[in-house]
Chains A and B, each alone.
Chain A
Amino acid sequence: MELAFYLSGLVAVLATVGVITGTSPVHSVVYLIVSLIAVALVFFALGAPFAGVLEIIIYAGAIMVLFVFVVMMLNLRADAERTPPLWRQPIYWLGPSLLALALLAALVALITAGDIEMAIDGELITARAIGLTLFGPWLMVVELSAILLLAALVTASHVGRRSDPGHSSTPRNAPNRGDTP
């Protein structure tokens, strides 16, 4: 169990590095699928098989298929980010990065302080216990998530509609027309 945890964690981190450093969109999507499957294996190793199955079915199965579908439909290609715009200047990212690094240092210091004294022994939590929790005390949250999904459905079908062709080829395609000296 320990070997599976550390090996899957290493694969997850490496695949995530591959995601954020890749240049081809399709390669990055496939790396992300590998990362999600590795995290699902971490769940299996920790003793949460229901969460692992859900991770594979919903994340790697449904959401990432949506990503692959959109990448294929838009026919994206590997584009070098050739114009380094204003965000390269350090004034735009130095402050938030320093604050986030301070928060990360505090988090790691708290984690490695060594007073948690808890080990995950891989005892299984069955889907029955999760279902009893969800539909017992958490019932209102389930209904709220249903409303969230309905709102996402309406929003996606409204935003993602195809705009009429006479409207999309107007000169609004020029992004900076007339407002830069």
Chain B
Amino acid sequence: MNGVPMEHGLVLAATLFSLGLAGLMLRRSMLFVLMSLEIMLNAAGLAFIVGSTAWNQPDGQAMFLLVITLAAAEASVGLALMIQLYQRFHSIKLDNVSRMRG
């Protein structure tokens, strides 16, 4: 069989998503939390691209465009929140704002 099997692409996407989730759970700095979210969104987009190229349909790539749009919106709002956090606490540790014990 020539070409990359679809399983390998999906395993790569799952690996990247798991790494992003691990980073999200391990790190307490808001910058690393935002970067982990970007990794996870990127892994979801990779899965869309793998499906799109496996079936030779352009719908997966259109969906990838929407994932990129969502990532841009999320990054802008998250970075604005991070600037506010730094201005108020002079640190970007998320434990500073855990007063709600969430």
Residues of chain A contacted by B92 (CB below 8 angstroms): 74, 76
| Main SS class of interface, A | helix
On whether A51 and B12 interact (CB within 8 A), knowing A2-B4, A118-B5, A152-B73, the answer reads no
Residues of chain A contacted by B2 (CB below 8 angstroms): 119, 121
Going nearest first, the 6 A-B pairs with the smallest beta carbon separation are A20-B23, A160-B80, A152-B73, A119-B3, A121-B3, A129-B58
Question: Whole-angstrom distance between the alpha carbons of A162 and B97 in the complex?
Answer: 19
Residues of chain B contacted by A5 (CB below 8 angstroms): 4, 8-9
Residues of chain A contacted by B31 (CB below 8 angstroms): 25, 28, 67, 70-71, 76
CB distance from A120 to the nearest CB of B (A): 5
Residues of chain B contacted by A159 (CB below 8 angstroms): 77, 80-81, 84
- Could you tell me if B50 and A46 are in contact, using CB atoms closer than 8 angstroms? yes
- Could you tell me if A13 and B68 are in contact, using CB atoms closer than 8 angstroms? no
- Could you tell me if A118 and B19 are in contact, using CB atoms closer than 8 angstroms? no
On whether A125 and B53 interact (CB within 8 A), knowing A51-B61, A118-B6, A149-B72, the answer reads yes
Counting contact residues on chain B (CB < 8 A from A), the size range is 35 or more
Counting contact residues on chain A (CB < 8 A from B), the size range is 35 or more
- Could you tell me if A67 and B79 are in contact, using CB atoms closer than 8 angstroms? yes
Question: Whole-angstrom distance between the alpha carbons of A120 and B9 in the complex?
Answer: 9
| Main SS class of interface, B | helix
Residues of chain B contacted by A9 (CB below 8 angstroms): 8, 12
CB distance from B13 to the nearest CB of A (A): 9
- Could you tell me if B80 and A123 are in contact, using CB atoms closer than 8 angstroms? no
Chain A positions within 8 Å of B, measured between CB atoms, are 1-2, 5-6, 9, 12-13, 16-17, 19-20, 25, 28-29, 32, 35-36, 39, 42-43, 45-48, 50-51, 54-55, 58-59, 62-63, 66-67, 70-71, 73-74, 76, 79, 81, 83, 85, 87, 93, 97, 100, 104, 107-108, 111-112, 114, 116, 118-123, 125, 129-130, 132-134, 138, 141, 145, 148-149, 151-153, 155-157, 159-160, 162-163, 168, 172-173, 175-176, 179
Question: Whole-angstrom distance between the alpha carbons of A130 and B46 in the complex?
Answer: 16
- Could you tell me if B58 and A155 are in contact, using CB atoms closer than 8 angstroms? no
Residues of chain B contacted by A176 (CB below 8 angstroms): 99
- Could you tell me if B86 and A59 are in contact, using CB atoms closer than 8 angstroms? no
- Could you tell me if A93 and B6 are in contact, using CB atoms closer than 8 angstroms? no
CB distance from B54 to the nearest CB of A (A): 5
